[in-house]
Chains A and B, each alone.
Chain A
Amino acid sequence: MTIRVQRKDFDVGGELDALSAGNSNVGGVTSFTGLVRDIVGTSQSRGGTMTLEHYPGMTEKMLVEIDAEAQSRWPLEASLIIHRYGRLEPGDRIVLVATASAHRAAAFEACEFLIDWLKTKAPFWKLEETADGEANWVEAHDSDDRAAQRWNSNG
């Protein structure tokens, strides 16, 4: 498992190649890449920014715990979580979650689990700023809580 919390961008192709490199037990790799959507202001302005803040120390600790939970639930050959922080612009990559397993079902399910749990358990916060200068902390969504909770009942 690899966990990285970083300011800089990452290369998705290179990261996915590295996940299965040298391991011929891997039959499939699933990944999720999260991107910054354009932040539209009330005057329909475009070109806003998103700034991600996190809790250094606890962030890494929670990601390790979430990853360990995935490892205990699915037969994974490898897993990867990269999450960026700092100021990002529309189209920028925010997060990459990837899982490698012998068969696709485990890779798909574990990847979805990781991003669902990460959204509600890893201490990150998003600040959106529009080109008009409006700034708003993104509010947590009930739908994200529900997505995370469904893994409790059928896990």
Chain B
Amino acid sequence: MKILYFAWLRQRIGVGEEDIKAPEGVTDVRTLVEWLRQRGPKYTEALADIEAIRVAVNQEFGDMDTVLEGDEEIAFFPPMTGG
């Protein structure tokens, strides 16, 4: 799956985009976040407060319960501030 990070999430994690192969236990956004948090302190810190983060799956807004098959484009970002 392809994972994108925007705004302060991108800065804290240090990359804007990465291709990963998630382990079998990752079946939805919640389990993906839990797995990502264990990849290092930058991930742990950036993804610590899930209330402060929005997620999109294949460019549609999702939530912690959005089911993942493994080939999605998943983006994590703070609440939007355009306009």
A119 on the B face (CB < 8 A) = yes
On whether A55 and B83 interact (CB within 8 A), knowing A123-B6, A137-B7, A137-B8, the answer reads: no
Closest to A115 in B: B83
Whether a CB of chain B sits under 8 angstroms from the CB of A4 is no
Interface residues on B, range: 10 to 19
Q: Could you pull out 24 A-B pairs where Cβ atoms are within 8 angstroms?
A: A53-B7, A55-B4, A55-B77, A57-B59, A95-B82, A95-B83, A115-B83, A118-B82, A119-B81, A119-B82, A120-B79, A122-B80, A124-B80, A124-B81, A125-B6, A125-B77, A125-B78, A125-B81, A126-B81, A138-B81, A139-B78, A139-B79, A139-B81, A140-B80
> Separation in Å of the B60 CB from the closest CB of chain A?
8
* A120 contact set on B, CB distance < 8 A: 79-80
Q: In the complex the two chains form, is B7's CB within 8 Å of A118's CB?
A: no
Using A123-B6, A125-B6, A137-B8 as known contacts, say yes or no to A34 and B59 having CB atoms under 8 A apart. Answer: no
Taking the nearest CB of chain B, how far is it from the CB of A42, in angstroms? 19
Name A's B-contacting residues (CB within 8 A). 34, 52-55, 57-58, 61, 83, 94-95, 115, 118-127, 137-140, 144
A24 CB to nearest chain B CB (Å): 31
Interface readout for B1-30 with A: 1 if CB under 8 Å, 0 if not? 000101110100000000000000000000
Residues of chain B whose beta carbon lies under 8 Å from any beta carbon of chain A: 4, 6-8, 10, 56, 59, 75, 77-83
A83 cross-chain contacts in B, Cβ below 8 A: 82-83
CB neighbours of A118 from chain B (8 A): 82-83
Cβ distance A144 to chain B, nearest Cβ, rounded Å: 8
Residues of A within 8 A of B78 (CB): 125, 137, 139-140
Closest Cβ of chain B to A142, distance in Å, is: 10
